[in-house]
Chain A
Amino acid sequence: MDYATLKALKPTEFSDAADGFRRTGDMASAAQDRIEKQITAAMRKPLEGEAANAALGQLRELAENFHYTRVECGLISTALDGFAYDLEAAKKKLDVAVEGAQAERFTVNSDGSISYPPGGEKVDGELPKGGTVTGLTDATASAMGRQAANFDPNPHHGRAQQYADQIATALKEATEADEKWAPKLRALKADDDLTVSDRDWADVKKDAGGVLKVAGDYLDSIKEPPKDGSPKENAEWWDSLTAEEQAAYVALHPAAVGALDGLPSDIRDEANRAVLSETQATYQLELASIPQEPTKFAPNPNGSYPAVVQTQAWQDWNEKYGERHAFLTNSLKGMNAIQSRFDATGKDGLPPAYLLGFDTKGNGHAIVANGNPDTADHTAVYVPGTKSRLEGAGGDIGRMQEVWDASDQLAPGESVSTITWIGYDAPQSVAPEAMDKHWAHEGAPKLNQFLDGLQTVQGGADASHTTVIGHSYGSTTVGAASQQGDLAADDIVVAGSPGMLVPDADDLDVGRDHVWSEAARDDLVPVGGKVAGLGGLKWDVETWNGVPYNVGYVQVVPSDEAFGAHRMDVDTSGHSGYWDHGSQSLWNQAAVVTGRYNQVKEDD
């Protein structure tokens, strides 16, 4: 980078280019949305058969291309903005130095050196001569240059040297920015084919890491999100950023942005889906690089007991790859299920979905909404129970899609959002893990934060009618959340609850009339819960066939009459093989979710 180049450089050209890429990214995003939410939906209705499926498959690939384009454009525009930011700083230094030099009537030469006129006190009748100095950036050389200037009776020498040094520093910084950014920008070139492969997505992740490494100064200029902020604080932070700054954060810190409660759902979805695509691709590639699992068992070569033994080949493989293989396979199962939910949007009126949370830490977590929660009239949040993890996301999302369908049936013309919240670390075994309360106590603040976040984006407690649905140990977590804070919900539904840590429905923040319990007569979970002590304690008389046998503090769980919750019908009197307990359960849940309390079928 020489003086002439930096002088002529307009950093705004780069930030203008960044704007251009951002606009392109926005167009790609809009195109992706149109394909996913409108075109495929409209196409599925009139067209059928192999040709239609092939066309839909191609459209899905096209949507994927747009998704990739949008994410890469986000990275490119952020990189260009980062580069422009670094250049601005250097350019400003240059301009200030040049202005200063010219104000003192020095000449800035085309190579960045500075010529100064004669000046100072006459020595032997002559004015000390003028001269030319070149800038020095090396600290030692610079100090020597200043020393030399100090010996010169011409005071302009010293001043000119200062300006020349400033110019040289500006050039050095501009060169450094150029050398730092050029390889990162070059890495953002896509390959020529029209398929977005696993490798392409894995590269996006690498590119983002590369840009992040050098974008330090630029990112520092953007205000960071609050540490452990409330949803309200997070929302305020987001609103305080310019569109450029928001885009930079989504491009370089998608996981962090996606996890911020209080941010609009479409932003969280955008950020989390980039992470999802990148993670799917990276894990897929890694899995493909692991050698095939060998046959596990072979006949025992040393007699007939035991009949089969583990092969040595398998044991070696398992020691080296077993754990990682299992982790990758299980994570991919969950991720693929989530992706297929997005792919299915529009089919037979399936509403759009939003990925409000995603990570593969520990057992893996996911938060998926069916229908946009920000604008929903009725919201439901499902807290699943024991063994919940990313791997099982498909089934848990499916459950809430069923609740969405049943709720849409009861509230036509209103908007519904049902959210699957695998957002806490659930116990992974009935015994011993689910007998422990700490999962509930640790999950509770996360649930509260998430619900508060929903309330914030929806515009307050009265904006949407919210029901929390706790299944099995999930209901215990809901109980803990209620104890720890103010549960941001209007109704609570629990199914198969082993206990909610409190003895009475009135202890649950929503009021006893808004607590609804489902438990089949032969469900063993409530009994097991009492044994484990997950219920609350009430002073009571225990009877058997009407005969009292115990007086004292007893465990009370939601299915007990003493708890005081509505007890919704699970067994039906009208028998049909197909209209089963599951159907009854859905009807009742939907009745609560849509506020149609008087349609709930319950024991009096």
Chain B
Amino acid sequence: MDEARERAKTVSSEIYDMIGIRKGEVTKRGPGVSTCEDDPEHLYKTRHPWSLYGVPEEDLKQGFQRLRDALPKNGWKIVDYGPNSSKAKSLELTADSETEPYSVNAVLIVSTPTNPNEKQPLLAVTVVSGCFRAPEGTKLDQEF
């Protein structure tokens, strides 16, 4: 299962590179293990929410667009893009990898006409995997 966590970190790393912001700060939490509804005793997924912050809003906006452009060129299919259904109508994209069981979701939280004066702008990225079978004997209620 450590392999699955490592793999998720690698995917996040690739996404980070596509965004191309060097000077920002990134949240420290790594991927967590979640059980899958279909069989929570044996199936799990990795879920890695993180965000990029501490840079001007303009940088975040450009990073988001770079991500949107780079994903199709790197084996990802964008399945959703546009303002989401929140009151802020933040730009959101969702993409699935065409080669591996991973999905990435990114939300751009910056000042806009529908969200004036954003005090904590950031680019939120979540990498989620498909469900894997845990090794025989693993107690999934002891994995975090």
Which residues of A line the B interface, CB within 8 A?
333, 336-337, 340-341, 344, 347-350, 392-395, 397-398, 401-402, 405-406, 408-413, 569, 572-580, 582-583, 586-587, 591, 596-603
Tell me the bound Cα distance from A579 to B87 in angstroms: 21
Tell me the bound Cα distance from A375 to B53 in angstroms: 23
Query: Given that A348-B30, A402-B47, A405-B49 are known contacts, is A577 also in contact with B130, CB under 8 Å in the complex?
Result: yes
Q: Which residues of A contact B22 (CB under 8 A)?
A: none
Q: Which residues of B contact A397 (CB under 8 A)?
A: 144
Query: Given that A337-B141, A409-B124 are known contacts, is A577 also in contact with B96, CB under 8 Å in the complex?
Result: yes
Contact of A349 among B29, B51, B142 (CB under 8 A): B29
Pairwise interchain contact B142-A337, C-beta atoms closer than 8 A: yes
Main secondary structure of the interface of A (DSSP, over half): helix
Q: Mark B65-109, 1 if CB is under 8 A from A, else 0.
A: 000000000000001100011111010101110000111010101
Q: Least Cβ distance of A523 to chain B in Å? A: 13
Contact of A412 among B33, B51, B130 (CB under 8 A): B51
Q: Which residues of A contact B102 (CB under 8 A)?
A: 578
Tell me the bound Cα distance from A574 to B96 in angstroms: 11
Pairwise interchain contact A349-B86, C-beta atoms closer than 8 A: no
- Given contact pairs A395-B40, A410-B109, enumerate 8 new A-B contacts (beta carbons under 8 Å): A344-B143, A349-B27, A350-B144, A401-B32, A402-B34, A409-B126, A574-B79, A578-B128
Q: Which residues of A contact B142 (CB under 8 A)?
A: 336-337, 340, 394
Contact of B80 among A401, A408, A411, A573 (CB under 8 A): A573
Contact of B109 among A336, A599, A601, A602 (CB under 8 A): A599
Tell me the bound Cα distance from A569 to B34 in angstroms: 21
Pairwise interchain contact A599-B47, C-beta atoms closer than 8 A: no
Q: Least Cβ distance of B111 to chain A in Å? A: 12
- Nearest residue in A to B8 (C-beta to C-beta)? A348
Main secondary structure of the interface of B (DSSP, over half): strand
Q: Which of B20-42 contact A (CB under 8 A)?
A: 25, 27-35, 37, 40
Tell me the bound Cα distance from A23 to B117 in angstroms: 52
13 pairs, CB–CB < 8 Å, chain A vs chain B: A344-B143, A347-B144, A348-B30, A394-B140, A394-B142, A397-B144, A401-B144, A405-B29, A408-B27, A408-B29, A409-B29, A412-B122, A574-B79
Pairwise interchain contact A578-B130, C-beta atoms closer than 8 A: yes
- Nearest residue in A to B36 (C-beta to C-beta)? A582
Q: Which residues of B contact A393 (CB under 8 A)?
A: 141
Pairwise interchain contact A576-B47, C-beta atoms closer than 8 A: no
Tell me the bound Cα distance from A574 to B85 in angstroms: 11
Pairwise interchain contact B49-A406, C-beta atoms closer than 8 A: yes
Instruction: Pick from B27, B50, B102 the residue with the most CB of A within 10 Å.
Output: B27
Instruction: Pick from B29, B31, B40, B87 the residue with the most CB of A within 10 Å.
Output: B29
Pairwise interchain contact A579-B107, C-beta atoms closer than 8 A: no
Q: Least Cβ distance of B10 to chain A in Å? A: 13
Q: 4 closest pairs, A vs B, by CB?
A: A574-B80, A394-B141, A348-B30, A578-B103
Pairwise interchain contact A409-B51, C-beta atoms closer than 8 A: yes
Tell me the bound Cα distance from A217 to B87 in angstroms: 64
- Nearest residue in A to B5 (C-beta to C-beta)? A348
Chain B interface residue count, CB cutoff 8 Å, equals 51
Pairwise interchain contact A575-B79, C-beta atoms closer than 8 A: yes
Tell me the bound Cα distance from A600 to B85 in angstroms: 8
Pairwise interchain contact B5-A579, C-beta atoms closer than 8 A: no
Tell me the bound Cα distance from A596 to B107 in angstroms: 13
Contact of A576 among B40, B87, B96 (CB under 8 A): B96
Q: Least Cβ distance of A398 to chain B in Å? A: 6
Pairwise interchain contact A598-B141, C-beta atoms closer than 8 A: no
Pairwise interchain contact B126-A583, C-beta atoms closer than 8 A: yes
Pairwise interchain contact A409-B27, C-beta atoms closer than 8 A: yes
Instruction: Pick from A347, A412, A569, A603 the residue with the most CB of B within 10 Å.
Output: A412
Q: Least Cβ distance of B57 to chain A in Å? A: 15
Pairwise interchain contact A412-B53, C-beta atoms closer than 8 A: yes
Tell me the bound Cα distance from A579 to B80 in angstroms: 11
Q: Which residues of A contact B53 (CB under 8 A)?
A: 412-413
Contact of A409 among B35, B45, B49, B141 (CB under 8 A): B49
Pairwise interchain contact A395-B122, C-beta atoms closer than 8 A: no
Tell me the bound Cα distance from A77 to B113 in angstroms: 65
Q: Least Cβ distance of B99 to chain A in Å? A: 14
Instruction: Please tell me if B115 contacts chain A, counting CB pairs below 8 Å.
Output: yes
Pairwise interchain contact A576-B90, C-beta atoms closer than 8 A: no
Q: Least Cβ distance of B67 to chain A in Å? A: 15
- Nearest residue in B to A600 (C-beta to C-beta)? B86
Q: Which residues of A contact B79 (CB under 8 A)?
A: 574-576
Pairwise interchain contact A598-B86, C-beta atoms closer than 8 A: yes
Contact of B103 among A402, A577, A599, A603 (CB under 8 A): A577
Tell me the bound Cα distance from A579 to B45 in angstroms: 11
Pairwise interchain contact A599-B144, C-beta atoms closer than 8 A: no
Tell me the bound Cα distance from A549 to B50 in angstroms: 50
Pairwise interchain contact B86-A601, C-beta atoms closer than 8 A: yes
Contact of A600 among B29, B40, B87, B141 (CB under 8 A): B87
Pairwise interchain contact B86-A395, C-beta atoms closer than 8 A: no
Q: Least Cβ distance of B17 to chain A in Å? A: 19
Contact of A598 among B87, B92, B107 (CB under 8 A): B87
Q: Which residues of B contact A569 (CB under 8 A)?
A: 85
Contact of A348 among B29, B95, B115, B126 (CB under 8 A): B29
Q: Which residues of A contact B37 (CB under 8 A)?
A: 582
Q: Mark B120-144, 1 if CB is under 8 A from A, else 0.
A: 1010101011100000000111111
Q: Least Cβ distance of A425 to chain B in Å? A: 21
- Nearest residue in B to A333 (C-beta to C-beta)? B141
Contact of A583 among B28, B47, B50 (CB under 8 A): B47
Q: Which residues of A contact B129 (CB under 8 A)?
A: 578
Q: Least Cβ distance of A512 to chain B in Å? A: 16
Q: Least Cβ distance of B56 to chain A in Å? A: 16
Instruction: Pick from B85, B107, B130 the residue with the most CB of A within 10 Å.
Output: B85
Tell me the bound Cα distance from A463 to B116 in angstroms: 26
Pairwise interchain contact A344-B27, C-beta atoms closer than 8 A: no
Q: Least Cβ distance of B78 to chain A in Å? A: 9
Tell me the bound Cα distance from A406 to B125 in angstroms: 10
Tell me the bound Cα distance from A495 to B86 in angstroms: 18
Tell me the bound Cα distance from A573 to B85 in angstroms: 10
Instruction: Pick from B101, B102, B128 the residue with the most CB of A within 10 Å.
Output: B128
Pairwise interchain contact B96-A410, C-beta atoms closer than 8 A: no
Q: Which residues of A contact B87 (CB under 8 A)?
A: 597-598, 600, 602
- Nearest residue in A to B102 (C-beta to C-beta)? A578
Pairwise interchain contact A601-B128, C-beta atoms closer than 8 A: no
- Nearest residue in B to A338 (C-beta to C-beta)? B142
Query: Given that A406-B49, A410-B124 are known contacts, is A602 also in contact with B86, CB under 8 Å in the complex?
Result: yes
- Nearest residue in A to B103 (C-beta to C-beta)? A578
Contact of A574 among B50, B94, B115, B144 (CB under 8 A): B94
Pairwise interchain contact A579-B34, C-beta atoms closer than 8 A: no
Pairwise interchain contact A412-B30, C-beta atoms closer than 8 A: no
Pairwise interchain contact A579-B105, C-beta atoms closer than 8 A: yes
